[in-house]
Amino acid sequence: MDDPADHSLHCLDCGATFDPSGAVYRCPDCDGLLEVATDDEGLGDVDAATVRGRDDDGLHRYAEFLPFTRDTAVSIDEGATPSVSCPDLADDLGVGALLIKDEGRNPTGTVADRGLSLAVTAAVRQGAADVALPTTGNGGQSAAAYAGRAGIDSHSFVPTRCPFVNKAMVNVHGGDMTVVEGRYADALGAYEDAVADAEEWTPVGPASPYRRAGAKTVYFEFAEALGWEAPDAVVVPVGHGNVIAGIHEAVDDLDAAGLVEDAPRLYAVQPEGCPPVYDRWAEQGQLDSVETPDTIVGPLEVGDPAAGALAVDAVDRTGGRAVVVDDDAILEAGADAASETGVEVGATGGVAVAGARALAADGHLESDDTVALVNPIAGSKEADLLRSYLMSQGM
């Protein structure tokens, strides 16, 4: 697709459709979330043999489902991360098989690289010279890398709680960074004030439809690793909700294309100190923000998630559920998984492992289930958290 207008953006709230060449970020009519429109009838014409046999790695192996081709994308060869089989962890949980999607193998060590590749591509093709976003940290590092690759500027607004590695690497990649006292909500407020005065900045934050479009490829790779079969369950740590919402879109895409007919149960896991998606799912009410989030898992300390409603919908429509786990269980699970599997699981990945443990203990995972876990961030980015935990255990 050589022109940004080769795809359209669709409002999930009012149904309006927009040409993306105007740098539309949210619906100008109702402020609703947008999605990269998928032509379900067109997906029915996808040649499954071509997709299955394509000799290409990374996101663009799944070109039929994405808004940009490899030739036009700002790419650092993101995607194609391993789905690591972990039989010992499967035995511990009492399930048939378990895979960990190790997103720490992406260029900047985070699943966010998938979506920011597409978001920065869209911005560049719209003629942007600057991109900007509020972020807990990893998104800012990723945006700076992709903006640097594209030869444009990036502006990240991060809370003081943002890890040093993210702050350092934003600058190393040439990005501009504003550190805001407080938590993510404070960084978001500062970003909104700044972007209102800088109309030339193109947003690439967590509400971007391209962030979710990139996250779809996590599930495409899971399905391909299983011989184009669906796992029985996918367990996802949830902050803004983009990854689980993208996975849900991917499930629908593969069904429309006739590649994978079955759908997995999707499970959203959040830290006990910041569970807005869980709260809405459990109460079946409005998505109320958590005013004072407090968890050791900084990347998920998002009190008002951009795609939170979509995350709840993903859980409900697939017969899954939302789960909360406390910080102690998260750290224990991360350390155990890293030791047992060899995968560098940090605190954020530990959320998925702790969630799977809770689901198994409550009988929501079956003995013959194939379970897929998403490890969103390289464990080395959170090594200090797990090291401190081990020291507290006398190790």
pLDDT in tens, 238-263: 999 999 999 999 999 999 988 998 99
Helices (H), 126-163: 138-150
Domain identity same for 322 and 218: yes
Residue 106 tokens, joined? 């992406």
Domain identity same for 223 and 304: yes
Domain identity same for 244 and 219: yes
Model confidence, pTM: 0.95
pLDDT-above-90 percentage for the chain: 81
Q: State which of 203, 227, 255 marks the end of a domain.
A: 203
In a 13 Å sphere around the CA of 200, the CA atoms on its Cβ side amount to 7
CATH number at residue 223: 3.40.50.1100
Write the pLDDT tens digit of every residue in 53-89: 677 778 988 988 999 988 999 999 999 999 999 999 9
- Are 290 and 303 a contacting pair, CB within 8 Å? yes
Single-letter residue type at 369? D
- Asked if residue 125 belongs to a domain, the reply is yes
- Are 128 and 147 a contacting pair, CB within 8 Å? no
Domain identity same for 138 and 179: yes
Residue 32 tokens, joined? 């609703």
- Asked if residue 282 belongs to a domain, the reply is yes
Angle between helices 138-150 and 164-172 (to 10 degrees): 10
Domain identity same for 365 and 271: yes
d(Cα 300, Cα 367) in Å, to the nearest integer?
30
Domains held by the chain: number: 3
Domain identity same for 35 and 138: no
Write the pLDDT tens digit of every residue in 11-23: 999 999 988 876 6
Domain identity same for 240 and 175: no
Other beta carbons within 10 angstroms of residue 5's beta carbon come to 12
Residue 266 tokens, joined? 């999707």
Domain identity same for 88 and 11: no
Which residue range(s) make up the domain with 31? 4-56
Q: State which of 203, 223, 251 marks the end of a domain.
A: 203
- Asked if residue 66 belongs to a domain, the reply is no
